[in-house]
Amino acid sequence: MISSLGQYCLNVTDLESSVAFYTALGLDNTSRTEIPQAFEAIVANPGGGSRLQLAQQKDQDGPLDLGTAFWKLYVNTHDVAATFARAREAGATVEAAPERLDRWPVTIAFVRDPDGYLVELVERHPWPDAAPGSPWLGQYCLNVTDIETTLAFYELLGLTCTSRTEIPHAHEAIVENPEAGGKLQLAQQFDQDGPVLMGSMWKLYVDTDDCAGLHQRAVDAGHPSLVAPMRLDRWPVTIAFVGDPDGYQVEFVQRHAG
């Protein structure tokens, strides 16, 4: 059974404004679709990196409640000053101007997108030769109540913890399939007290070659089934949903030929 991280999905108040913001940063709008309850779009760099799904719920009314679950997403770039300038021109709220760090060979900046999601812009000195030439999505970061419990869940799904670190206010870890897909950063804040509040984070995707088997593995380990495996008519996929230890919705996706 092989698993990898697919896209992650954030609810937005205005899909066109959000797509315009992320394409202004240098990402591409690679697909759009409509489902019964939402309008959706994917932004990504087709040459590599993660994928971000933006969803405008049809019953959305007023600003979003961001909650405390979703912390930030990363946009990697070869020129953080230029990407930061494009973000400001696109109307971003500036949280921190570009700054070279001492601990890691990176320059970073922080902005907020049209809905207030925190975006970390990252320039590594240098990026590997295989890195895409234009901005691409790095990992996304979810707050968790117990990092060890959450790591065990994602490792159960077949992902690998590829790094761990500690910053002044949080324990952090990365889970991924090193050979394919995106990266998920987990963060346990030192001042975390009680459950995280899900807010406007909708779901994250785990791609698999055995949806039913992965769903059963999660359920057998005590995790809640939200939707049992089902083959869709509209797309050649089988999907299922489970809840992770903090209540994040995890959608398993198995793609079929044809």
pLDDT in tens, the chain (258 residues): 899 999 999 999 999 999 999 999 999 999 999 999 999 999 999 999 999 999 999 998 889 999 999 999 999 999 999 999 999 999 999 999 999 999 999 999 999 999 999 999 999 999 999 999 999 999 999 999 999 999 999 999 999 999 999 999 999 999 999 999 999 999 999 998 899 999 999 999 999 999 999 999 999 999 999 999 999 999 999 999 999 999 999 999 999 986
Q: What is the DSSP letter of 72?
A: E
The single residue listed with the structure tokens 């380990």 is 221
Domain that includes residue 211, residue range: 3-255
Q: What is the DSSP letter of 4?
A: E
Q: Give the pLDDT of residue 1.
A: 87
Here the CATH number for the domain that contains residue 225 is 3.10.180.10
**Cα–chain center distance at 231:** 25
Span 84-133, pLDDT tens digits: 999 999 999 999 999 999 999 999 999 999 999 999 999 999 999 999 99
State how far the Cα of 38 lies from the Cα of 18, in Å rounded to an integer.
14
Q: CA–CA distance from 125 to each of 100, 130, 194, 207 (Å)?
A: 10, 14, 38, 31
Characterize the bridge pairing of strands 70-76 and 118-124: parallel
Q: CA–CA distance from 192 to each of 14, 24, 145, 153 (Å)?
A: 31, 34, 7, 20
DSSP-based three-state secondary structure for 100: strand
Q: CA–CA distance from 96 to each of 21, 89, 109, 225, 244 (Å)?
A: 18, 15, 5, 40, 32
DSSP-based three-state secondary structure for 153: helix
Contact 13, 60 (CB under 8 A): yes
Q: Is the dihedral of CA 112, 116, 119, 120 positive or negative?
A: positive
Which residues lie below 8 Å from residue 158, measured CB to CB, with a gap of 6+? 1, 2, 3, 177, 208, 214
Q: CA–CA distance from 56 to each of 38, 119, 174, 240 (Å)?
A: 5, 19, 28, 22
Contact 218, 201 (CB under 8 A): no
Q: Give the pLDDT of residue 63.
A: 92
Q: Give the pLDDT of residue 221.
A: 98
The single residue listed with the structure tokens 């779901």 is 203
In this structure, the number of other CB atoms found within 10 A of the CB of residue 219 comes to: 14
In this structure, the number of other CB atoms found within 10 A of the CB of residue 256 comes to: 11
Its pTM surpasses 0.85: yes
Domain count for the chain: 1
